[in-house]
Structure formats: structure tokens, C-alpha cells
Amino acid sequence: MVDRENALGRLLDYKIIPNALFVDEEGRLVGKWIGFAIDRPECREAVEAFGSGRLEPFERTPDGPPGAPGVPPGQTSPSAGLSPLERELYETRIRLGAELLKAGRAEEAAAEWQKALRMDPENFVLRKQIWKVRFPERFEPEIDYDWQKEQLARERAEEAACGPDGCEIPER
Amino acid sequence: MTQLGAQVPDLSFPDLSGRTVRLSDFRGRKLLLFIWGSW
């Protein structure tokens, strides 16, 4: 399935991928693992426990202590600090960016996403979307993961000094 | 935001062939959603 509108991201408020969601037979969310990787033994064990009915409801994040069952729900989202109005604005900007991209207005899309990123600098999925638009040569024909790490470090340094939009040029 | 134990909304998505798939299509079975990106 292809989540073009990032519906699951909005619903579950994740900021990085890959993730795994465990849904029981009645359609209830019983597990949420941010940073899930099937090549890790603990991830495979969770899938096996889910299949055999031994899985207790859990939530895991990359920041959770190793081996711990998870961290309390609600502690995984930096954007949880936004007011309801700010949250609506944040999500609207993300949706507007998606619509602009579909209309072929890529730089305007990236600009809207940049505004959203300013509101939640921890949204790494959004940050990568902006890179994909502004630096397509880093994604085709091969994905340059080393560049991504370097770019993230550069942007983090700029944001620490000046904010996620970089330094403002003072008006004369 | 959907919390643990809550019903997941019945979202629908296109699959790679363009066919619409709803999460409720899997009701009655355990569903593991693995979410990843190609970039």
C-alpha cells in the first residue's frame, strides 16, 4: 500500500521510518514500534509473539531503553507541545505542500514543508521530503545516505545557531 | 492521535497496482503494518 498523503504519519504522529504497527483482529492498535527493523532479533521476536497471541500492548521508540517493553504513550512526539491551533496549522502546511507537489510546484511545496518543519524540527520524514525536492540528485539514481547524514548535521548546526530556517538576513 | 488499545480508523490506500485497499479488509485477522520509505 502507498500512503501518499502521510495519513498514518498524521494519525500516529511518527517522525521517522521504518515503523511497525500491530493491529489485532478487532482493528485495535496493540503495538507501535518506531524504528522497527526486521533484521533485529527483538523485532522478529515481537512479530512472533504477536502471531502467537503472546504480545502485550506496547509502544517502543528509538530512545527507549534497550530491552524495555517501551516508553509511556504520549512521550514520543515533540509536536505534542503544539497547541490545537498550531497543530492544525502544522498539518495544513504538510497537506498543502503535498498538493503543491502534485501540481508540479515543487519549490513552493518545499517552502510550505519548511514552515511545518520549523514547528516540529524532529519530523525527519518531513525533512527528507524537503531534501528529495531540493536535492533530487542525492536520491537518483542512488540514494546517498552519507550525504543525508552530513546534511542533517549541517542543518542541525544551523538550527542550533539560528533556527530551522537558517539565519535571518537583517533588513537594511 | 490513535492511542494504544484504540480502534485504528478505517483508512484506505492504493496498492502498487492502483487497487484500493482498506484496513477493514483485514478485520478478523491480525495485521502488521510495516511502514518504510524508498528514500
The Cα A84–Cα A89 span in angstroms is 9
Answer yes or no: pTM beyond 0.80: no
* Residue A126 near residue A94, CB atoms below 8 Å: yes
Given a cut of 80, is residue A152 above it in pLDDT? yes
Helix/strand/coil for A49: helix
DSSP code of A160? H
CB-CB neighbors (< 8 A) of A2 in chain B:
13-16
pLDDT at A69: 37
The Cα A68–Cα B21 span in angstroms is 34
* Structure confidence at residue A164 as a pLDDT band (50, 70, 90): low
Given a cut of 80, is residue A56 above it in pLDDT? yes
* Structure confidence at residue A3 as a pLDDT band (50, 70, 90): confident
* Structure confidence at residue A67 as a pLDDT band (50, 70, 90): very low
Long-range CB pairs of A100-105, under 8 A, 24+ apart, other chains included: A101/A133
Pairing of β B20-22 and β A29-34: unpaired
The Cα B39–Cα B25 span in angstroms is 28
* Structure confidence at residue A66 as a pLDDT band (50, 70, 90): very low
pLDDT in tens, A70-122: 333 333 444 557 888 998 999 899 989 989 998 999 999 999 999 999 998 88
| Residue from A23, A48, A90 to probe the interface with B (highest B Cβ count within 10 Å) | A23
The Cα B20–Cα A95 span in angstroms is 21
B19 part of contact set with chain A, CB < 8 Å: no
- Give A94-144 as a DSSP string: HHHHHHHHHTT-HHHHHHHHHHHHHH-TT-HHHHHHHHHHH-GGGTSSS--
Q: Of all residues in chain B, what percent carry a pLDDT higher than 70?
A: 100
pLDDT at A70: 38
Q: Of all residues in chain A, what percent carry a pLDDT higher than 90?
A: 48
Helix/strand/coil for A118: helix
CB-CB neighbors (< 8 A) of B19 in chain A:
none
Length of chain A: 172
**Cell numbers 502507498 correspond to what residue?**
A2
Per the prediction, chain A carries an average pLDDT of 83
pLDDT at A80: 59
CB-CB neighbors (< 8 A) of A143 in chain B:
39
pLDDT in tens, B24-39: 999 999 999 999 887 7
* Residue B31 near residue A26, CB atoms below 8 Å: no
Range with the lowest mean pLDDT among A60-74, A134-148, A149-163? Answer: A60-74
